[in-house]
Structure 1
Amino acid sequence: MVKLMTYAGPAVADAPGTRTGGVPQTPSAFEWPRCRECAGPMQFLAQVSLADVERGSSGLLSIFMCQNDPGLCDEWDAGAGGNRAFAFGADALHVPTPPGDGVTLLDEACAVRFEQVGAEDYLEAPGQWHQQSGRPVREVLGQVGGRAAWLQNDETPRCDGCAQPMAFVVQLEEGHDHRTSANFGGGGYGYGFQCRACGTAAFLWQR
């Protein structure tokens, strides 16, 4: 089974829970991440409620990526400094004000509905969901839990703290509308991970 994220219409920018776009919910001491390459503020892409991934979990996985000069900041790489992922706890209730410079937000906040599809893996699931629902494949926004469906080699990151492979959390599509989508190189996938033991997180994308 694959647990799909599907487009459920526009969301309020600071809506709680899993969504793409909008503004992040964070702890009060949060500082907006800046790109290690260009020093510009990163763009907030999505937040995922960890309770949607595994029953009994709490907190949020929050994902950011530099879009100030796309392609020049190695924003696809989990360790190059062109993106950041955070594993926030239950204290992620603050809504920060984005910096006034740079590209910080997507042009749409999207609500998410979860739908189970009996596919072998994620690469098969959107087409199967389309056949069952009659809705456009582009309205699939990704998946949570299960196994990552890699477009290239398996690039599961290792935690900087314990050096163990991180747990897969979410696979993101670019979005349902090209005018408001994230940029994963044009048709790529984003991948979010966490280390439960160390409270760290990582993100990368492939095309």
Structure 2
Amino acid sequence: MTTLLIHAGETGAQAPGPRTGGVPLVPPGFVWPTCRACGGALLFLLHLPLDEDGGDGDRAEGGARGRGDVVSVFLCQNDPGMCDEWDATGGANRAYLFAAEGLAAPAVPAHGETRLGAVSALRTEEVDAAGFPEALDAWADDDAASLLVQGQLGGEPAWIQGDETPHCPGCAERMTFTAQLEEGYDFSTSANFGGGGIGYVFTCARCRDAAFLWQC
């Protein structure tokens, strides 16, 4: 089975369910991340709640995530393509793994490209298929339907350019694939992944860390 992420229309900027855009929900004391290259505030991209197994039922060695964990992803869109925002370790994107309890919306920086043009809910749907390409073909019977498919939760990544699974900076182990994400449903909901690219989210349960990269 493959779990697809499906565009489910507009939602609130602080909605607790899976979504792209809006504002993040973060723990007390959170500092909005900035780009290592340009110094500008990063754009908030993804709020993704996870179940206790990280979304795909595959518990990482060293202990499962707590129920209600949330992945939060940011990337630089101040000058797309100039800050290496595709690189998991380049400093132009940032992903976090938060425990869901006590999260709240922070103040959004006044300057920089910090928010998508629209907030889009995502829902999950399981498809009896071995991987993302097969699940996409099975679920979408025309081009319009395929546009609704915004990614995949758990399973195996559908790499465009080959395996770039990052290693956790804390324990040096390969991180666990958690989700992949299309650029967006339309222009207002889209980040820039190089034009038709895919974003990939990884987590480390042991070190409570996350990483993001994209390929095109």
Q: TM-score range by the shorter chain?
A: over 0.9
For the 8 Å contact 2:17–2:47, the answer to whether it is kept is yes
Aligned residues: 206
Tell me what 1:109 maps to. Answer: 119
- Structure 1 runs of 4+ aligned residues shifted over 6 Å read none
After superposition, the C-alpha distances for 1:160-188 in whole angstroms (9 at most, x for unaligned) are 01000001111000111123311101100
CA RMSD of aligned residues (A): 1.6
Tell me what 1:153 maps to. Answer: 162
Task: Give the SS at the match of 1:138.
Answer: helix
Task: Mark the runs of 5 or more structure 1 residues left unpaired by the alignment.
Answer: none
Paired residue type of 1:121? G
Structure 1 residues 44, 118: CA separation in 2 closer, same or farther (over 3 Å shift)? same
Which shows bigger deviation, 98-107 or 176-185? 176-185
After superposition, the C-alpha distances for 1:75-118 in whole angstroms (9 at most, x for unaligned) are 00000101000001133521012100000000111111111111
**For residues 185-204 of structure 1, what are the structure 2 equivalents within 5 Å?**
185-204=194-213
Task: Mark the runs of 5 or more structure 2 residues left unpaired by the alignment.
Answer: 58-65
Which shows bigger deviation, 145-154 or 120-129? 120-129
CA distance in 2, matches of 1:61, 1:121: 22
Paired residue type of 2:171? C
Tell me what 1:53 maps to. Answer: 55
- Seq. identity, %: 50
CA distance in 2, matches of 1:9, 1:179: 12
Return the offset for 1:18: 1.3
**For residues 39-118 of structure 1, what are the structure 2 equivalents within 5 Å?**
39-51=39-51, 53-54=55-56, 57-118=67-128
For the 8 Å contact 2:116–2:188, the answer to whether it is kept is no
Tell me what 1:2 maps to. Answer: 2
CA distance in 1, matches of 2:131, 2:56: 18
TM-score normalised by structure 2 residue count: 0.91
After superposition, the C-alpha distances for 1:5-53 in whole angstroms (9 at most, x for unaligned) are 1011101000002111111110011110000000000000101111171
Structure 1 residues 107, 182: CA separation in 2 closer, same or farther (over 3 Å shift)? same
Return the offset for 1:127: 2.3
Task: Give the SS at the match of 1:137.
Answer: helix
Paired residue type of 2:68? S
TM-score normalised by structure 1 residue count: 0.95
